[in-house]
Amino acid sequence: MYPSQHDATECREQPHDGIYIDVPEGTLLWSLFRIPPDCPYISHAISLYQHFHHYCCVFEPEVNVYYQRQREQLALQLEALLPDELDECSSLPQDRRQLHAYLTHYPLFCSLLLIGNEDEMMQVFWLCLLVRIFRALGPDVYEAYLLFDKLRAAYPADVPFIDVGVLTHGSQHGLIQALNTHSFLAPLTPYVKNRIKRTRQFPYQGVNIHTATVVDNEDLTVTLNTACDKEGNEGESWITLTANQVLNDKAAKRKFSNQGRGIVRAIGRANKALPASQTVLTPSECRVFLTLTCPPLLEGKWLSITKAERKYWLLFWLNLLGHSSCDTPLHNRRSTTGNEPSPPYFSYEFDTREGCNVVLQLPADLVKGKQPEVGDKRYYTHQPSFSLSLPWPLQSLFNLVLRDVPSHQRHGTSLTKTLSISSEQYRKWLSMHIRAVKPLVPFHLTISALHRTFLHFSHGQVPDSTLGQLISQGCMQSYYINQEATASNQQIRRYWQVFLDEIGATKAFDSSRETHTSERLGMGSFHDQVGSALTLREELLPLILSAILMPLQHRPSSYLQLPSNHRQMWSERLTLYLHLRAAMTLALRPVEHPYPTLDHIAFQTGLLTVQDKRSHHHDERRVLVADPKLLQLLSQYQCWQQRLLPLSQSRALVGLNVFDGEQWQPLDQNIVKRLLNTYVGELDLGGLRHISASLWLKANQSHFAQTDLNVLMNHFQRGQSPIGLFSLLSLNQLAYHQQLRLKRVVARFEEYDEQAEAALDWLLGGRDA
């Protein structure tokens, strides 16, 4: 619909010199007509543009009020550009060579000037044809206007033109047929067809592939795969099914068909994450198995176990901890030969008291996320690996086992070679013990159920990112969380201690010499962080927030004394603070428009709903929970906005807007970048979501719950979102619970919230400075 911009029009910045100085709102004029700023032959050019604009309106006479006003505005702007005294003596250019400086960047302008050389009758025909090309292609397609000029210059006088009715009111199909049958204008046929500029849609290329086993039994393994890019945005998801038994083709097809019908239900049941899952053992069931299999094990009487059995039990405890690779190499820290292998590997050292210090070096760079510029000290470091001090009883078992092996057979070799036990031999050994115990226990017992006992027990109480580091498998929150390696160590070891208490091994642990060794090894180096590379340092937050709010403390005694040109500055500083405050407590995604309209904000309950980030889920909404203080500040800011906003400009406003000196603009990504560059400095907008996750984890370390962090980050599996199929809480209950968890995070913003509230009270006339 004219005068809307065509899809094929190039994005070129509007000039602000020449004729555009006198046209303060000339964006539409520039994007449609591409009139050069210096505009040679201005008297003839503007007159021809007025005729051109008239025929564009004739081509589409039926328009709504909005487009009608735009047409009237264009006509007034063209009229304002006409010089007061028309220069009738100057002649128009006769050929394209006289316009060589404008041909490439202003092809429509050149074609219009050359049409002026035609007589009055032919001008109408050529202008109507030019309008059809312009409506199809926009003003920037050089080859179309070049061909148009060549055909017009060489057009024979005795050849009849296309009927003007077809040009002005004919359909595109009718015009194409008329051009195809014309003896001279047929080459223009391709240029009257609408050309829509489309970006190529490449298949989604995920930088990282996250896998999660949703069903695992003796017959079938079902794995959910999700592709993600460097920003942590989800792409495609697919399910892979692997048969655990060798079947013939017919049997495999029948089993696949039967299993496929229940996949959706199976995923739904698995996503509920029942505490007493049938696919793993509880700690008490694990204790029964260990007591029946090897009674001295839980008592710490290692010397009563044969040397051969100790090797197998060492592998069992490693698998129980979550490290299932038997091919992990060993590295002697005191050795002077050989370099350290790449993680994962075991680093050990014998001490003078016949003890052994063993550390599991694990990879920490599990996902390929966005990186800051090299040398940027504003963000926390991110080490490629971190050291996990092995908890009891692994230190004792390693000490006994490694001391029985010659030094040349343990340093630089894999654990299986050092122990002379393959993974197949270990599974046969464990299967033998399971078969012996099965008749004596009432619960389902498998190798997988045994190995996953601790991981299932700690799920939800230890952050998923930390468990992912333990099993060397990245997860969605590995993109966002950055914490010291010491914290990851303590999270694993603390809950391992709870697990030992549940299986009845606490007494043996407390009396072991390994207790003190393990505690000493758990002390990591300070500021040795692992995880996200875009997490802003916490010590910079006071500097940033003070730089934004400090100038607002110096204000006149009354709002009426505030100069009108200062309102933009006040609005921009308050908007920037409120956005940073919301981004770091709501974990806002760095999308183009982060805030919903006011219809999707419940100020009393503290809920916001925003559109789902995935493009193929337009109808889905994500729920954000805000603390009462933030909503109070947003509400105050909205009140000031309504006072300053003229009723004639009233429209559906989003949750946060900024005053640009003339009107309120919805806060978008480009405005946030501009405000940061103006008042703070350049920052990566995605880093705000990263620091939100890290602040939450640090504030709720003592009573961490993964479900609370999932609500903050809006990371849910199928059906588990607050408005999903398996949600167990109402939205009001969810908001109340989440706001309690937010209190510790919000506490660090209390001083700055008071400054922002004082500034808003002053703007609203609540109290003077």
**pLDDT for res 238:** 81
Whether 13 is covered by a domain: the verdict is no
Pairing of strands 345-350, 356-363: antiparallel
**Residues 488 and 373 occupy one common structural domain:** yes
**Looking at residue 451, what DSSP letter applies?**
H
Average pLDDT over residues 533-543: 90
Whether 725 is covered by a domain: the verdict is yes
Alpha-carbon span 198 to 61, nearest angstrom: 28
- The CATH code of the domain that includes 630 is 1.10.443
Alpha-carbon span 690 to 218, nearest angstrom: 40
pLDDT band at 560 (very low <50, low <70, confident <90, very high): low
Whether 199 is covered by a domain: the verdict is no
pLDDT band at 202 (very low <50, low <70, confident <90, very high): very low
**Residues 545 and 494 occupy one common structural domain:** no
φ, ψ at 97 (rounded to 5°): -60, -30
pLDDT band at 675 (very low <50, low <70, confident <90, very high): very high
How many domains are there within the chain?
A: 4
Q: 10 Å Cβ neighbour count for 118?
A: 15
Average pLDDT over residues 346-374: 86
Beta strands in 293-446 (DSSP E): 330-332, 345-350, 356-363, 385-389
**pLDDT for res 204:** 47
Alpha-carbon span 599 to 445, nearest angstrom: 53
pLDDT band at 508 (very low <50, low <70, confident <90, very high): low
**Residues 327 and 467 occupy one common structural domain:** yes
User: Is the pLDDT score of 655 beyond 80?
Assistant: yes
**Residues 346 and 255 occupy one common structural domain:** no
Alpha-carbon span 462 to 465, nearest angstrom: 8
**Residues 153 and 245 occupy one common structural domain:** no
Boundary of a domain, candidates 465, 499, 531: 531
Beta strands in 38-161 (DSSP E): none
**pLDDT for res 631:** 93
Average pLDDT over residues 350-375: 85
Which residue carries 């994962």 as its tokens? 344
**pLDDT for res 621:** 74
Average pLDDT over residues 478-496: 90
Whether 729 is covered by a domain: the verdict is yes
Average pLDDT over residues 651-668: 83
**pLDDT for res 719:** 61
**Residues 235 and 183 occupy one common structural domain:** no
pLDDT, tens only, 71-115: 888 888 888 888 876 665 568 888 888 888 888 889 999 999 999
Q: Which tops the pLDDT comparison, 432 or 562?
A: 432
**Residues 483 and 352 occupy one common structural domain:** yes
Residue 157: burial class (beta carbons within 10 Å; 0-12, 13-18, 19+): exposed
**pLDDT for res 371:** 85
Q: Which tops the pLDDT comparison, 8 or 170?
A: 170
Which parts of 442-591 fold into alpha helices (H)?
Answer: 447-451, 453-458, 464-470, 485-502, 506-510, 514-521, 541-549, 567-586
Q: Which tops the pLDDT comparison, 702 or 768?
A: 702
Boundary of a domain, candidates 496, 531, 566: 531
Q: Which tops the pLDDT comparison, 35 or 519?
A: 35
Q: Take residue 395 and report the two structure tokens written for it.
A: 């230190």
**Residues 262 and 363 occupy one common structural domain:** no
Whether 588 is covered by a domain: the verdict is yes
Q: Take residue 163 and report the two structure tokens written for it.
A: 């009927």
Who's near 299: CB < 8 A, 6+ residues apart? Answer: 507, 508
Which residue carries 């820290």 as its tokens? 333
**Residues 414 and 552 occupy one common structural domain:** no
**pLDDT for res 8:** 64
Domain residues for 399? 283-531
User: Is the pLDDT score of 648 beyond 70?
Assistant: no
Whether 6 is covered by a domain: the verdict is no
**pLDDT for res 515:** 43
Whether 768 is covered by a domain: the verdict is no
**Residues 389 and 526 occupy one common structural domain:** yes
Boundary of a domain, candidates 249, 271, 293: 271
**Residues 563 and 608 occupy one common structural domain:** yes
pLDDT, tens only, 591-621: 888 998 888 898 888 898 887 665 434 445 7
**Residues 390 and 310 occupy one common structural domain:** yes
Q: Which tops the pLDDT comparison, 212 or 222?
A: 222
- Amino acid code (one letter) for 24: P
Q: CB pairs under 8 A, 24+ apart, for 5-12?
A: 5/31, 5/32, 5/138, 6/135, 6/136, 6/137, 6/138, 7/138, 7/195, 7/196, 7/197, 8/137, 8/138, 8/140, 8/141, 8/195, 8/196, 8/197, 9/138, 9/139, 9/140, 10/140, 12/140
Q: In the predicted model, what is the mean pLDDT of the chain?
A: 83
Whether 9 is covered by a domain: the verdict is no
